Structure formats: C-alpha cells, structure tokens
Structure 1
Amino acid sequence: MDRQAYTDWIKRAGVALICITTTLAVAAAPPLVVLVDTGTEMPMAGFQDGRLVEGFHKDLGLALADKLGRDASFLPLPRKRIAMAMESGQADLICLYLPPWLPGKFNWTRGFFPVSEVVVTDTSVPQPRSLRDLSGQPVATVLGYYYPELEDALGKDFVRDDGHSSSGNLRKMAAGRLHHAITQQSTLDYYLKVGEKLSLYSPLVVKNYKAQCAVSPQGQVAVSEVNKAIEQLIKDGSVSKIISNYQSRLK
C-alpha cells in the first residue's frame, strides 16, 4: 500500500469510526421522560386506559424529544405526586406549567406556550364587566388550583365552588347549578364543541400568559438543552402548528 492509499484509508476509517460512535451515542440516549397531570383535560391531554394518547402535552413532548434527539416516554401521575417525581428525577420535565403551581427547586424554561385564562358566565344572569362584579358570587373552580388574580381582585369575597375538573364545572353550568366558571379558553372551546350546549356571554379574560416547562435537577436533560429545543420549535413554527391542529378540529 503506497503512502497516499494509506492516508486515504486512515481518513475513511476515521470517518467510519465517527459515524459509528455518533450512532451508538444516539441509540444510547435515554428517553425524555415527560410528566403529565392525570387531571388535565382536552385539548391539553387525553387519556385512555391510563395512557396519554392525545393533546397538547403529547404533541409537545414528542416535538421536544425529537429536537433533543431522544424518544419520548410519558408518565401520567396525579397532581399530588408530581412534585415528588420531579424532585427524585423520576421524570425529566413537565410542561405547560407556571412556577407558582409547582413549588420546589426546579429549573424553569422560558415561557413559550400561549394560554388564556377566562371567566365564563351564562346568559341567565347579568354579564360581569370586571372581576369585581363577581364579588360574593360562587365561581366554579378546580380543586387544588390557585387563582391569584381572583383572590387579589375579590379578597374574602372570592367564593370558590371547587370541582374536580373544568369540564365538570361547565356541566354544572349547563345544568343551571352555577353561573360562573374559570377555565382556559382552549378547554372552553373544546367543551363547546363536544359537550352540552351553553348560552354564554363573551368570556372575561383573567390573564394571558406563556406557559413554561419545569426541568428536574435530577433528570437526564439540562434546562439549557430544553430552552434550545423550545427555541427551535418556535422558529420552525411547531408550537403554532400544535395549537392550530386542535383549533382546526373544532371548526
């Protein structure tokens, strides 16, 4: 073998070794374990036989895992077990959350997923023009959820009527048992498409915000990596597409 042939062989062998090493590294990457609150409803999350089968949480988890070069593994848990699972590293992250909802020493990504929280009122009672108009009136809320805007606006006159889910609260409204409920706009839109008919005023916006992901310090992925993946999802339009896919289903 002459010198040039030997040099070419070394180069080809080096390239092959790099390819093999890269392939093994990708294959060996652990899955991205994504926590999902089992109390979450469509379009955020849909469950079947205890498995996450559809919704924003699934689509977003798959998209993030893809950008991170991993498979996604979803871990549905009740809300009361989420903090412990995150603290122990049983899961890598949970998305579509805000820091006040999950106290603990977690690393938080940038806000990126638009959410609108609204109060809806049926047309059998006067329409509230501001949160103060709800003073002393029962508002359907979800057990365990925190509503700082209503608490700040109403103080002791914020009357909670806790239910287990937003859809259950909207069913109470349909049955005439309650006249006001706080929910997410996306949940309301989905319910109005698939649930009982409701005669409602235009929703009163409580707040618009961008939800984040909490990343476990004991997990297999760094918050900087997740932020980079989120940035890619924003730039390539994936976040908007995830939302629009469900909006188009409701038309």
Structure 2
Amino acid sequence: MRRLLALLLLWSAHGLAEQPVLRFSVAESWSMPLVRVEGEQPVEGLLFDLMQAIAREAGARPEYHVMARLRLQQAMDEGDIDVRCYVSTQWFNDRPGNFVWSIPLFQQRDVLVGRAGDSDAIGPEQLSHQAIGTVLGYTYSTLEPLFARGQLHREDSRSQELALQKLQIGRYRHAVSNELSLQWFNRRLPAEQRLQVLAVLEEQALGCMVRNDPALPTQGVLRALVRMKESGEIERITRRYGAAVYSGEVFGVRP
C-alpha cells in the first residue's frame, strides 16, 4: 500500500513538472473585485479566477508576477511575462509584435464619479479648474485634452480603490473609475453615502494578450478563451463579482 501511494505521489509530481508554465502579470494597481493580493500573490478576485481557469483549460501551471503597471510594457518587451489580461487594443499606439490578442472577453465602462449627494449629470468638460482622482499609470483618452490645457489635473493613486477612498473623504470633488470597481466600493455603504456616477467617459472591449513563443501553448490559451467565452464560463466568473447588476453591459455579460 505504501509503495502504491509513493508511486501515485511520484506520478502526480511528474505530471505537474511536465505542465508548461504560464507567467501571468498582475498589476499592483488592481484591487477588488479584480484581484486581492496577499504576500505578493493573488488569492481571489475576478481576474484571479479568470487566470486560474485559463491555465486549467490550457493544461498549464500558472505563475503570478505582481508588478507596477508602468513596468508591464517593459516586462512584455523583455519576455518576463507570458499572458497579460484586462487589456485593450486602445491602450497601445503600436501593436506588440511578439504577443497575440485573444477575442474580446469583457466590456468595461469608465465613468466620472461624484461624491454622495451629487446627482446631476455633468460632463468632464463642464468641470471648473480642479484636481480629479486618477490611477497611476492609467490613460484616460477622453480627459487628455482637459489635462493638456490645464482645466483638470490628475491626482494619482496607486489603486482604483484608493482613488475612490480619497473622493469619499473629500480630497477632491470628482474621480474616474471603472463601473464594476465603483459598484464593489459602494456595495457595503448605505444609500445616502454611495458615490455617484455623473457621466460615462468611454467604453472599451478588454481581453488578454499571449506571448507568441514556440515554447508556450499560445494557441492552446487562445482556444481555451474561445471555449470559455462560448460555454458561458467567463460570464459565470463575472457574475460572481456582481457584473449582473449592469444588465449585461459590463464585463462580458452583454446579451
């Protein structure tokens, strides 16, 4: 019996060793519901569940590399990561030649957010000269002209959650957030204390990028994402973190 158990353990360890490794990037600026990091490793969240499922479907072993958002492009160029998720083609001036895009997986809306009690719709061009809460390393294309002429100026935070916390305590009057993170932030607040959506700034299709390397199961990952999308697994993951409240308009649950 002991010999049998030893053989089973040996076979299991050998199987894990044979699995290809997929190195996923995790941006430090992500916060729940996208991901929660403990001890430099992700432990839960929508994107953690997604990356775990990708590795499982592709028959690979995931490794997670937590890094500053501004370091991501360098890591891609130097071959330090294999898969980057939660990314839009709109964020790149030049198509990364050594990475292949997946199919679109999610739809995300970036919104202008006001404090509790702000209920009137207002566009960013109507804001007077002021700071606006932003996330370090994030690009906001619809606001760039306002930044350039000095009508608005950025007050960067290391994460989306921190940017919303600063808005809540009055560090500034307005901030930018993706809608899902705002909904997660508001979920435990009484109605009269919830931050308010004042305007939709832009909507983006998000997906993953996979390094095109013969040593990697690149096509296996891309096919896995197609299967997950078609089977409804991506929708189930997003609904787990509250995307259903948007009636199918955010994070891949559009009918």
Q: Same fold (TM over 0.5)?
A: yes
Query: Which whole-Å CA distance do the structure 1 matches of 2:130 and 2:64 have between them?
Result: 39
Residue in 1 aligned with 2:163?
Answer: 169
Query: Which whole-Å CA distance do the structure 2 matches of 1:248 and 1:211 have between them?
Result: 15
How has the CA–CA distance of structure 1 residues 220 and 199 changed in structure 2, closer, same or farther, with 3 Å as cutoff? Answer: same
Q: CA RMSD in A?
A: 2.9
Query: Which whole-Å CA distance do the structure 1 matches of 2:126 and 2:88 have between them?
Result: 27
Which structure 2 segments of 5+ residues have no match?
1-13, 246-255
Contact map agreement 1:26 1:69 (CA 8 A) in 2: no
Contact map agreement 1:115 1:210 (CA 8 A) in 2: yes
Q: Deviations over 1:78-99 (max 9, x none)?
A: 2233223222333211100124
Match runs of 1:100-179 below 5 Å = 100-101=90-91, 104-105=96-97, 106-123=99-116, 127-152=120-145, 155-156=148-149, 157-179=151-173
What's the CA shift for 1:184?
A: 0.9
Letter of the aligned partner of 2:142 in structure 1? E
- Normalised to the residue count of structure 1, the TM-score between the two structures is 0.78
Q: Select the residue among 206, 211, 220 that pairs with 2:206.
A: 211
What's the CA shift for 1:130?
A: 2.2
Identity of aligned residues (%): 25
| 3-state SS of paired residue (1:177) | coil
Match runs of 1:48-127 below 5 Å = 48-101=38-91, 104-105=96-97, 106-123=99-116, 127=120
Letter of the aligned partner of 1:229 in structure 2? A
Query: Which whole-Å CA distance do the structure 1 matches of 2:222 and 2:79 have between them?
Result: 19
Q: Select the residue among 216, 220, 223 that pairs with 1:228.
A: 223
What's the CA shift for 1:29?
A: 3.0
What's the CA shift for 1:101?
A: 3.9
Which structure 1 segments of 5+ residues have no match?
1-23
Query: Which whole-Å CA distance do the structure 1 matches of 2:203 and 2:243 have between them?
Result: 21
Question: Structure 1 residue runs of 4+, over 6 Å off?
Answer: 24-27
Residue in 2 aligned with 1:13?
Answer: none
Contact map agreement 2:29 2:135 (CA 8 A) in 1: no
| 3-state SS of paired residue (1:242) | helix
How has the CA–CA distance of structure 1 residues 219 and 242 changed in structure 2, closer, same or farther, with 3 Å as cutoff? Answer: farther
Residue in 2 aligned with 1:245?
Answer: 240
| 3-state SS of paired residue (1:182) | strand
How has the CA–CA distance of structure 1 residues 220 and 57 changed in structure 2, closer, same or farther, with 3 Å as cutoff? Answer: farther
Structure 1 or 2, whichever has the larger Rg, is 1
Q: Could you say which structure has the higher helix fraction?
A: 1
| Aligned residue pairs, count | 227
Query: Which whole-Å CA distance do the structure 2 matches of 1:220 and 1:36 have between them?
Result: 22
Query: Which whole-Å CA distance do the structure 2 matches of 1:79 and 1:202 have between them?
Result: 25
| 3-state SS of paired residue (1:202) | strand
